[in-house]
Structure 1
Amino acid sequence: MPPATRELPMRIRPARPASWVRPARALRRVLRRTLPALVPLLLLTPVPGCRAELVPPGAPTPWPTESARRWQWQWQLSGPLDVSVEADVFLLDPVRTTSTETAALRARDRRLVCQVRVGTYAGTDPDATRFPTTVRGAAVAGRPGSRWLDVRQWDALEPVLADRFRLCRGKGFGGVALADADGYLHRPGFPLGFDDQLLFNRRLATLARSLDLSPGLVNDVPQVAALAPDFDFAVNEECVRLRECAKLLPFADARKPVFHVEYAGSPSGFCVTTVGYGFTSIRKDRDLDAWRETCPLP
C-alpha cells in the first residue's frame, strides 16, 4: 500500500465585509481623480532651502564703501514727495513721509535716511509734550515755535529720541541724520560746552546702531574730526560758501559718504570743489522741496 499522504491544513482567507469594500473602492476612485491635479501643486511648492530671503521693512540701510562716491542724493522736507527722482539716497522727514512712499522707494532699491532733530523740538511735534520743562531752552533763531534742548540731560531725552528713531525704523528707513546736533555753537539757554555736545552725539550714534540704523551727522563741522569714526556719513550745508569743505575730509578720507548742498551759486562753479573732495553735491532751494540740480559724479 502506498504510504499515507500528509494532508496540509487549508488556509481560508476570511471574506471582506461589504462595509469595508465599498469605502476602499471609493478611495481609489478619489485618488485617481485628484492625483493628477496634486502633482503640479507639489512641484510648485517652494522648497525651504530655495526660498528667496525677504527683507523686513526696517532692514538697515547698507553703506558699501566702494559705492560711497557714486551715489546721487535727494533732500526733500516740503511739498509732495517725488519718488521718481533719480537718486540713490533720499533724506526725508519721517513724520510727513508715509509707509506707502517708503515702500515705493525701497522697491526701486533706494537708500532711505530720515532726518531727526535731536537738539531741538517744535511745539507742533507730535511728541512735544514728552519733553520735561527742565530740558526746554531758548528759542531757535529763525524757527518760530522751536526751542533748544538741554543735551546734558540724557536720561530725560533718550526715551523720546529713541521713539523718534523707532518711527524711522518702522517706516523702512535704514539711516538717521542727526540734525541740530550743534547746540553748543548757538545760544541754547544752557551752558553747553564742546564736550557736552560730543558726548551727546556719540550717545546718539550708539543708540541709532542699537536700533539697526546707520547714524549720520548733519553739519556740526567743528566736531567732524572727533566724530567721523562714530558716524557712517555726513550731511553738510554750504561748505563751499562758508569755506569749510576741507574740514569734512575725515569722512571722505575714510570713504564715507558726504552729502553736500548749496543754496546759491551755479553747480558748474561749486561742483569743481566738492567733486574733487569726493562729495556728492546738489543745489537746492532753502525750502527743500523736490527741485534740485546735481553735480556730475567723478
Structure 2
Amino acid sequence: MTRPTRLWAVFLVLSLTVLAACSAPPPDQSPGPRWLPRPGMDWQWQLDGRIDTSVDVPVYDIDGFENDAATVRGLHRDGRKVICYINAGAWESFRPDHRDFPRSVLGGPNGWKGERWLDIRRLDTLRPLMAKRIDLCRERGFDAVEPDLLDAYLNDTGFPLTAAHQLAYNRMIAQLAHDRGLSVGLKNDLPQVPQLVDDFDFAVNEECEQYGDCAALKPFVEAGKAVFHVEYALPVDRFCKRARQLGFSSMRKKLDLGVWRQAC
C-alpha cells in the first residue's frame, strides 16, 4: 500500500469513529435499580447511641446524620442493607442544616425537644432542603430513606394543612429519593396508604396494633413490599402472631430506639 493510500485509510477510520461517537446515544446517567425490600425481612431500628452491628438481621435503619459512610460500608460488608433515617416533617434545632430553614416554614412544637413542624405547603422552599438531606443519604452509601413525620396534616402543626397538601409533599419526597436511586418508605400516614402505596417501596409503622389499624397496611404486603413495624407498649405475645399473619417485619422496641429489641 502506498503512503497516500495508507493516509486515506487512516483518515477514513478516524472519520467513521467520530461519526459513530456523534450518533451514539449519550451514556445512561440514570441511577441503577434500587433495592426493594420484601415482606417478612427482619430488621433493626437504632436511632440512639453507637450502632451495635452484631444484630443478626439483613436490614438496619439508622440515623443519616449521625452515621458516616464508614458505618454504612461496614454494615454492607456484613451483608446488610441500610436505611437512612431523616426527619422530613419537622425542623430540628440540633441538626447541622438547621439554619437553612427560614422561620416562615417553622410551625408549632411536635412534642420532641428542639423540633417544630414544617409548613409542608411550601414545596418550593422545602424541596431543595430535603434534596440535600437525601443527597447526604446517597453520598454515605445508604440503600433507602426513612423520611419521618409524613403525617403532619393529622396533627396540630400551627398550619391549616390538608390531606391534599400531605399527598403532594409525600410524593415529592418519594420522587427525590427515587431520582437518587434510593428506595423510600412511607412512615405511618395510614389513611393515605391506598393513594401512596405505588409511590413508596416499603412502609415503616409505629404501634398499628396498639391502635387497631394494622390492616390499613395490607396493600403494601399485597404489592410485595415490606412493612417494617414496631410496638412499644404491647408485649410480643400480644401482636406477633397477628403481625406474622399479615406478613409484617415486626418487633418490640423501647421508645428511645436504642439497641434493645424483641423480635417476633
Q: Quickly name the TM-score band, shorter chain normalised.
A: 0.7 to 0.9
Structure of larger gyration radius? 1
Q: Is the counterpart of residue 90 in structure 1 residue 63 in structure 2?
A: no
Q: For 1:143 and 1:219, locate their aligned partners in 2 and report how far apart those are by CA, in whole Å.
A: 17
Cα deviations across residues 2-59 of structure 1 (Å, max 9, x unaligned)?
xxxxxxxxxxxxxxxxxxxxxxxxxxxxxxxxxxxxxxxxxxxxxxxxxxxxxxxx97
2:113 partner amino acid: P
1:93 partner amino acid: D
> What is the CA-CA distance between 1:204 and the residue it aligns to?
1.0
Distance 1:59 1:90, change over 3 A: farther
Q: For 1:266 and 1:189, locate their aligned partners in 2 and report how far apart those are by CA, in whole Å.
A: 35
Q: For 1:93 and 1:268, locate their aligned partners in 2 and report how far apart those are by CA, in whole Å.
A: 29
TM-score by length of 1: 0.76
Distance 1:151 1:144, change over 3 A: same
Q: For 1:137 and 1:292, locate their aligned partners in 2 and report how far apart those are by CA, in whole Å.
A: 33
1:129 partner amino acid: R
> What is the CA-CA distance between 1:153 and the residue it aligns to?
0.7
Cross-structure match for 2:185 = 216
> What is the CA-CA distance between 1:60 and the residue it aligns to?
6.4
How many residues align? The count is 234
Cross-structure match for 1:144 = 113
TM-score by length of 2: 0.86
Q: For 1:144 and 1:291, locate their aligned partners in 2 and report how far apart those are by CA, in whole Å.
A: 22
Cross-structure match for 2:230 = 261
Cα deviations across residues 82-115 of structure 1 (Å, max 9, x unaligned)?
0111111111101111222111100012111111
- The answer (yes or no) to whether the contact 1:61–1:173 under 8 Å persists in 2 is no
Cross-structure match for 1:237 = 206
> What is the CA-CA distance between 1:155 and the residue it aligns to?
1.0
Cross-structure match for 1:124 = 94
Distance 1:60 1:121, change over 3 A: farther
- The answer (yes or no) to whether the contact 1:81–1:290 under 8 Å persists in 2 is yes
Cross-structure match for 1:47 = none
Cα deviations across residues 157-195 of structure 1 (Å, max 9, x unaligned)?
111110100111111101001111111011111110000
Q: For 1:252 and 1:262, locate their aligned partners in 2 and report how far apart those are by CA, in whole Å.
A: 18
Q: What percent of counterpart residues are identical?
A: 43
- The answer (yes or no) to whether the contact 1:119–1:148 under 8 Å persists in 2 is yes
Q: For 2:36 and 2:213, locate their aligned partners in 1 and report how far apart those are by CA, in whole Å.
A: 25
Q: Is the counterpart of residue 178 in structure 1 residue 147 in structure 2?
A: yes
- Ranges in structure 2 where 5+ consecutive residues have no aligned partner: 1-30
Q: For 1:59 and 1:254, locate their aligned partners in 2 and report how far apart those are by CA, in whole Å.
A: 21
- Ranges in structure 1 where 5+ consecutive residues have no aligned partner: 1-57
Distance 1:193 1:209, change over 3 A: same
> What is the CA-CA distance between 1:268 and the residue it aligns to?
2.5
Moved over 3 A (4+): 58-61
Q: CA RMSD in A?
A: 1.4
Cross-structure match for 1:109 = 79
- 1:1-40 to structure 2, matched below 5 A, reads none
Cross-structure match for 1:62 = 35
Distance 1:123 1:59, change over 3 A: farther
